[in-house]
Structure 1
Amino acid sequence: MKSLRVAAIQLTSVANWQENIAMVEQWVAAAAQDGARLVVLPENVFLFDGKAMRSLAESDAQQEILQTVKEMAIKHAIYLVVGSHPLINRPDGELVDQHRVRQSCLVFSPSGELVKRYDKIHLFDVTVKDKAGTYKESAVIEPGDIHPSIIEVDGFKVGLTICYDVRFPELYRALSKAGADLLLVPAAFTYVTGKAHWRTLLAARAIENQCFVLGVNQCGWHNETRQTYGHSELLAPNGDLLSALEEEPGYFVFEIDESSLVECREKMPCLSHRRL
């Protein structure tokens, strides 16, 4: 049966995109050296500054960043998933209004082609008991169109989501119904919400959909008010923890295999028992 070596790269991204891209190049090279075929970066990977997303997306640096990502995918012969990156155009080419961006998960193939784009649907407008206090993503991000987004990588169907999406199981059920084997959750979970819910949410999405789930998080202090949780994790279709990081930048590589999916789904065929 088929298998796929997947990598999670955990970072402490900052407001300087040059620093971030240098870190990414280092960790991607290491993961590829360890045999990764699908490499996943976290949310806000090249810019951890919501107020600056529009200006970056409109700047000359935008093309440089995307060209560097393309070259990394080609150089290492990998599928490279940019957890999220600000774009000023909707998928149909229309411009987002002047104050906001689309927060887009971008997948580049080993040939350097942008083969899939998923725009974040659910926006983090909440109050959290941390130094930031209140978060309002809708002030700088326009929500994406509502549809499941799946790409095939070496025979595995991979579903794309971003961060706050993980709290909305209906999206993951739609991806499951569309045939997903692996669900990606690039994220920048706050430390408080991550400590409370990160593992539980990832495990729930894995168990209820009988899919592998790969949560790839930011970690550490990004500025004086924003701390993220880390603990990037890969969950098996039965919810077992397969690989994980702690609260520092780093990466892991793990080989998932089709046999685990088949065994889980045959022993407890929940997907065929669905009534709704």
Structure 2
Amino acid sequence: MRAGLVQITAGDDPAANLPGTLDLVREAAAGGAEFVLTPEVTNIISTSRKHQNQVLHQEEDDPTLAALCAEAKALGIWLLVGSLALKTHDPDGRFANRSFMVSPRGDITARYDKIHMFDVEIDEAESYRESAGYRPGDRAVLTRTDFATVGMTICYDMRFAHLYRRLAQAGARILTVPAAFSPVTGKAHWESLLRARAIETGCFVFAPAQCGQHGPTRATHGHSLAVSPWGEVLANGGDAPGVTLVDFDLSDVDKSRRRVPSLTHDRDFEGP
């Protein structure tokens, strides 16, 4: 089977971002991808909550989601909309960072709200407080496609290995990690973390990423990755927008898990 990882440089205007995203989804499908994945916050990257309130929509009214669902149907592909920034009905006005799995019929088969919020101070010049604008999800999500069971996660989730173990032990054979990763932490940790999650779970890991400069104060690492269940990097999208195609064989999941069946070796223990 072939997957297509879409890498974009989203700006702060969802309407302006959409045509380029659709073009790359079409390019991936034209290249033979039956499963296409877009990155985290496909619709917008903005540092202004006020601006987001002006341009974002509720899920049921979101033009980006509607267009991507229609495109999945037109192309006959499975499409992971890595995530969209969406308005919610929460009293505090925080947004959702929500990933969607869309079937070849254009139907949404699963939704996942990012659980772990990126609240960090990387250095004096770079800090983030995602929880100020987004409210965290509280539910891990598996979705069954006609080719595999997929565990859905987003970006900073990748640092929480227990989430991926739970998804794998519950049946996931593919793990999706759409991201908008910081350049500093990306250079240091991006590949290592994704390879570790693949090795620990014996799953394929597909991580489509945002890349480049999104404004005067925001940049992302890029390097969309596909990783095998044995921890091998199958494809790297580099640092420019585009499509990365990767062929994968799900029998590799069983081969890796037979070689090191660690998912079945959990033991209870006391302490610390």
Please, what TM-score do these two structures have when normalized by structure 2? 0.93
Change (3 A) 1:9 1:60: closer
What amino acid is the match of 1:244?
Answer: N
Match of 2:105 among 106, 111, 115: 111
The DSSP-based 3-state class of the residue aligned with 2:56 is helix
Query: 1:63 is matched with which residue?
Result: 62
Encode CA deviations 1:31-77: one digit per residue, 9 max, x unaligned: 00111111110011111115233433347994322221111111111
Query: 1:180 is matched with which residue?
Result: 172
Query: 2:22 is matched with which residue?
Result: 25
The DSSP-based 3-state class of the residue aligned with 1:128 is strand
- After alignment, is 250-259 or 215-224 more displaced? 250-259
Measured in 2, the distance between the counterparts of 1:195 and 1:55 equals 33
Measured in 1, the distance between the counterparts of 2:54 and 2:135 equals 15
Q: How high is the sequence identity, in percent, across the aligned residues?
A: 38
Unaligned runs of at least 5 residues, structure 2 = none
User: Is 2:272 the partner of 1:275?
Assistant: no
Match of 2:5 among 3, 8, 18: 8
User: Is 2:225 the partner of 1:233?
Assistant: yes
Query: 1:123 is matched with which residue?
Result: 117
Measured in 2, the distance between the counterparts of 1:130 and 1:188 equals 20
Match of 1:213 among 205, 211, 232: 205
Measured in 1, the distance between the counterparts of 2:247 and 2:113 equals 27
For the 8 Å contact 1:218–1:228, the answer to whether it is kept is yes
Query: 1:248 is matched with which residue?
Result: 240
Displacement of 1:177 after TM fit? 1.1
Displacement of 1:108 after TM fit? 1.3
What amino acid is the match of 1:86?
Answer: A
For the 8 Å contact 1:81–1:108, the answer to whether it is kept is yes
The DSSP-based 3-state class of the residue aligned with 1:100 is coil
Encode CA deviations 1:110-137: one digit per residue, 9 max, x unaligned: 1111111000000011112374x22111
For the 8 Å contact 1:41–1:186, the answer to whether it is kept is yes
Displacement of 1:258 after TM fit? 2.1
Encode CA deviations 1:217-252: one digit per residue, 9 max, x unaligned: 111100011111011111111101111111111111
Structural RMSD (CA)? 1.8
User: Is 2:39 the partner of 1:46?
Assistant: no
Q: How many residues align?
A: 266
Change (3 A) 1:112 1:130: farther
Please, what TM-score do these two structures have when normalized by structure 1? 0.91
